[in-house]
Amino acid sequence: MQLYETAAKILVFPDTLKCLVTLTNDGEDSKEVEFEPQFKDVDSKEAKMALYIKETDLVSKEWVSTWSNKGFEVAGHFDNTRQARNPDWKTMDSVIKDLKAKLKNKYGITKIHTVVNHWFVWCGRDSSGVCDFAAQAKLEVNNGIGMDINYAHYDNNSNQGHFLGTMGTGQGNYTASGLVMKFADESGAVLNIYQHLNNVYDQQYMEHKDSLGFYNCFKGLMNRSLNNEVYSYISVKLIITNIIFQKHL
């Protein structure tokens, strides 16, 4: 809830702030003991983070309750990777509903406010099988989700090089500001769900074993926002929070 509330306020940036930062973390197939240190690191800085759980068997109700009560968001990491090449509406919808039911039954989570899909799998066909680039967003609206975070700065191994921007402090926002905006479909109708760019994406730097570059990417975006008075919303996707930020802060 914390992350979604922050996004909903983005159009008016509170007080005199020029830059806002959100932290997201994919639970993947990890156990709570593995990301407990990350949550403690974030909590020690009086910040919050969203965790996206893929396997409810690996995380206890007590753990979720502890961190939810501290204001951390716990939501679903929907996994439709078996259809990664061509996901269909019906299957994706069932994957979402199935995990929502598990989160409700085990943790008492009655609403998913934000979402990150495993592998960023995106359904591009409507319920009739017709191509629709906004199909996934519409599915999520139907399931009561308010913000989609299946969008990231990633251009590794591209035949165009790092066309989305030089890595490290020189990396930019390829949506210009990186601000959260609502989706629109091909007819121009605005959908009641926000799109959130992961402009500091761990996978981009993990594959290069470049923890310093990951930190400098965040630092460069923030300095540009604060020093040049550019309003910017920085999302940091950090499965390896304690490894990277404790090392370079």
* Predicted confidence (pLDDT) per residue in 208-244, tens digit: 889 899 999 999 999 988 888 788 889 999 875 444 4
pLDDT band at 179; cut points 50, 70, 90: confident
With a pLDDT cut of 70, the percent of the chain lying above it is 91
With a pLDDT cut of 90, the percent of the chain lying above it is 65
Instruction: Tell whether the model's pLDDT for residue 82 goes beyond 60.
Output: yes
Region 67-78: mean pLDDT is 95
Instruction: Tell whether the model's pLDDT for residue 183 goes beyond 50.
Output: yes
* Predicted confidence (pLDDT) per residue in 14-59, tens digit: 777 888 899 999 988 889 998 898 899 899 999 999 999 999 999 9
The confidence score (pLDDT) of residue 28 equals: 86
* 146 burial level (CB within 10 Å; 0-12, 13-18, 19+): buried
Helix/strand/coil for 101: helix
Q: Where are the beta strands (DSSP E) in 92-237?
A: 114-115, 147-148, 181-184, 190-195, 200-201, 232-237
Taking only Cα atoms into account, the Rg of the chain, rounded to an integer number of angstroms, comes to 18
Instruction: Tell whether the model's pLDDT for residue 175 goes beyond 80.
Output: no
Q: Please, what are the domains in the chain?
A: 2-248 (3.20.20)
The confidence score (pLDDT) of residue 192 equals: 96
What kind and span of H or E run contains 35?
helix 32-44
pLDDT band at 12; cut points 50, 70, 90: low
The confidence score (pLDDT) of residue 97 equals: 98
Residue whose tokens read 């990890």: 30
Region 156-163: mean pLDDT is 90
Cα distance between residue 133 and residue 138, in whole Å? 10
Instruction: Tell whether the model's pLDDT for residue 249 goes beyond 50.
Output: no
Instruction: Tell whether the model's pLDDT for residue 147 goes beyond 60.
Output: yes
Instruction: Tell whether the model's pLDDT for residue 98 goes beyond 60.
Output: yes
Mean per-residue pLDDT over the chain, rounded: 88
CA distances from 59 to 63, 68, 137 (A): 7, 13, 27
The confidence score (pLDDT) of residue 164 equals: 85
The confidence score (pLDDT) of residue 9 equals: 45
The number of helix segments (H) and strand segments (E) in the chain equals 8, 9
pLDDT band at 248; cut points 50, 70, 90: very low
